[in-house]
Structure 1
């Protein structure tokens, strides 16, 4: 049956009791009815929450996780940074085939689903063959990501990436960046080619990689050429060095420069935006765009901490992403989003508003709203007309057994490390049951084979 009865369900207005959820054959919620009587023959669950949105992913980097944690030679450890990590990533990216991209993406998506993500935005910049030549079908690798989404059940927003330059001032690409090389016409052509795949479970937008890799004129041209309403994402102000380079070349900070030259609005997601001054923080909040925050990757790369408290107070919208995939858990992203701010301010309970003072509920609901906006898809809430994306939490686990509604998300996000996601419905399709993905073993086998092949090439 396409129905579920939840004793407790998190709706947009908060926790509700005895909620009957029904969805149609297309995976859209057709009924969300609180205070309902439990129908005969309908499955029941203790605690149900909307599936989380992962608004920033580089799927191929899943196979790189944990392989860069070795200090460089030298008494000072070599001052490892984002930039030294990036050189390692380039060498890794140079070898991956389309088949391996698909296998790695499927493994990642299955892991993300098991931990509670039901939508993902793929910031996809591996467009060309390893030598830098175009594929016979320019959308080849993007199609592989879409295939992985279909096979696993993950809802996907594909964002082909505009990547033309090696740095501010339109510096020529380095040899190891040729695989990423695209112009505006290339990206619009890929977007058009992917149009036949668009549907309830897949949207197509675009992404200027950064102001380092795309000129402001290119960003403007891409935004104008993309079909109306499609999402636009961009890396920005992730590193202090990027801010300094921007000032040197444009006399403006990156977010300041983007805001000054581009009509940034609700269809934009500014990924990281780590290093903002007070004026930029307020301007980003006023724009209606989403701040795409990736706390575990930002910590792994030593990026810094986003000014979350000031941004929330200014009315800013945000979502979370797993980026380089050192973690696949929305619990860990949200936990460290809050904990990073506690360390920064040396006090507790940072992410809240006067209207919602419960930290767990505020973080989950705010990340859902911002993530849904960033996907360009009808997700992010248990309400009629949205996608039937939901998580059934394990009500028998000691962390949740018999707890009050108001404590569920606090327990979920801030207590222990067990995965409390039991079952996952994505687009009306049960893709995870009893903690296992429906195709977990087959996906893992293809992933192991892809990683084995990559290791052989690298030796």
Structure 2
């Protein structure tokens, strides 16, 4: 048992003061507001400092005092870990989404299980420092560059599982079906040379590998295996239903209407929007997340909402790639859920993603307060969208996740604790607890004690630099 005390915490009913939290076996067993640190204690030891906290951090009465504002752990619901290598590498000559994609292929071509482990471990550690306690990894780099499988067909997925475990965050591995190279008026193109390693060749082949991945991860308590349809560009109309049939009860994600060109191609060839195609295939349900959902029709919004689906917005990526601003408020008002992701990791900062959701709406509507601070926090902590329904709230019985934010930084000093999400940045996170384990303490990740004595920035540099040495 470990006992914590924080001056402020965001609980389901709102902001609470002087909150006493008791963790046991990775769960919150007590959450008490307006409490002194020792309320309910009869004396004696409670087990001392938890793993990752030195004895100097624990007070003499074995209560860990954390200064700041406590939030539930953040859920980063859409990630491509290897895209982190593109940060600061795609802005020369402006370019487009499609020219950005060519540079992405260049990085993807150099990945192998070893280099992917090193890169993803550093990226997931960066996420942990930003308060992320679970990540949804939209994983499509499956095979060798020429498309032939590794001896272990899921070697790349195994590298991601190990990376998340070592970085201290939970992983939802969204194993992605990617069969075609694109879509235009004439139909689907074959995968290009650069895309060979993404494709299993058929839904049946993908489903066999996916089933093996599920089997391999059965004993991995840190991983949920879900599925993804890369897009209606990469999976044809007559294949979509087969992917759905192969994934009963699983979390299912898809890139949806990220670019106007995607909509135009789907309408020209199929006379359906991407949402319409996915609905027709039976993909839409409470388990489904439409990633980006940028260029939706009114009917698309209604269809997603009626299905109880989630729309996963990635504001920092959507503006970096000039995708556009999606209808977040329209979806929310229609009854769809909202979640957030950092996608290509141009920024790893869930505060910025949450603010982006509101600030983009302000730009398009000329109105403030389109989404409340509590609504933004709900989007930033929606773990159910990636298969962890028992996380994302500080309540008894939930997973013992916690993110503590410095209330006296240059950004947050003077702001109201109930609005800290609108003021803080990732660097204001001081402490992160995942399933009762301390992953970040005093702004330092636990890997800095062993694997990364030079800091997570150095770990990232060492993982990314080899991709660009020939530039």
Structure 1 position 139 matched with structure 2 position 154: yes
Equivalent pairs counted in the alignment come to: 437
The SS at the match of 1:264 is: coil
Verify the 8 A CA contact 2:411 2:425 in the aligned structure 1: no
How large is the Cα RMSD of the aligned pairs? 2.0
From 188, 195, 212, the counterpart of 1:193? 212
From 281, 295, 305, the counterpart of 1:261? 281
Deviations 1:155-187 (A, max 9, x none): 110011101011233321111110101233343
Q: CA deviation at 1:417?
A: 5.0
Inter-CA distance 5–267: structure 2 relative to 1 (3 Å threshold): same
Q: CA deviation at 1:294?
A: 0.3
Deviations 1:82-136 (A, max 9, x none): 1121122112211122111111111111111111111100000100112221100
Verify the 8 A CA contact 1:160 1:187 in the aligned structure 2: no
Distance 2:328 2:443 in 1: 32
Q: Which residue of 1 aligns with 2:58?
A: none
Q: Which residue of 2 aligns with 1:408?
A: 417
Inter-CA distance 418–424: structure 2 relative to 1 (3 Å threshold): closer
The aligned runs of 1:16-415 (5 Å cut-off) are 16-25=16-25, 27-39=26-38, 40-45=61-66, 46-71=68-93, 80-168=95-183, 169-182=187-200, 183-194=202-213, 195-198=215-218, 199-226=220-247, 228-351=248-371, 359-369=372-382, 371-397=383-409, 400=412, 407-410=416-419, 412-415=420-423
Inter-CA distance 320–417: structure 2 relative to 1 (3 Å threshold): closer
Q: Which moved more, 1:292-301 or 1:185-194?
A: 185-194
Inter-CA distance 57–299: structure 2 relative to 1 (3 Å threshold): same
Q: CA deviation at 1:304?
A: 0.7
Distance 2:270 2:121 in 1: 41
Which TM-score applies when normalising by structure 1? 0.90
Verify the 8 A CA contact 2:125 2:445 in the aligned structure 1: yes
Q: Which residue of 2 aligns with 1:428?
A: 436
Inter-CA distance 266–378: structure 2 relative to 1 (3 Å threshold): same
The SS at the match of 1:348 is: coil
The SS at the match of 2:88 is: coil
Q: CA deviation at 1:334?
A: 1.2
Which TM-score applies when normalising by structure 2? 0.88
Inter-CA distance 378–190: structure 2 relative to 1 (3 Å threshold): farther
Distance 2:394 2:86 in 1: 35
Q: CA deviation at 1:189?
A: 3.2
Unpaired runs of at least 5, structure 2: 39-60
Verify the 8 A CA contact 2:145 2:194 in the aligned structure 1: no
From 462, 467, 470, the counterpart of 1:449? 462
Distance 1:188 1:384 in 2: 38
Inter-CA distance 20–166: structure 2 relative to 1 (3 Å threshold): same
Verify the 8 A CA contact 1:51 1:116 in the aligned structure 2: yes
Q: Which residue of 2 aligns with 1:354?
A: none
Distance 1:385 1:112 in 2: 25
Q: CA deviation at 1:321?
A: 0.2
Unpaired runs of at least 5, structure 1: 73-79, 352-358
Distance 2:74 2:135 in 1: 9
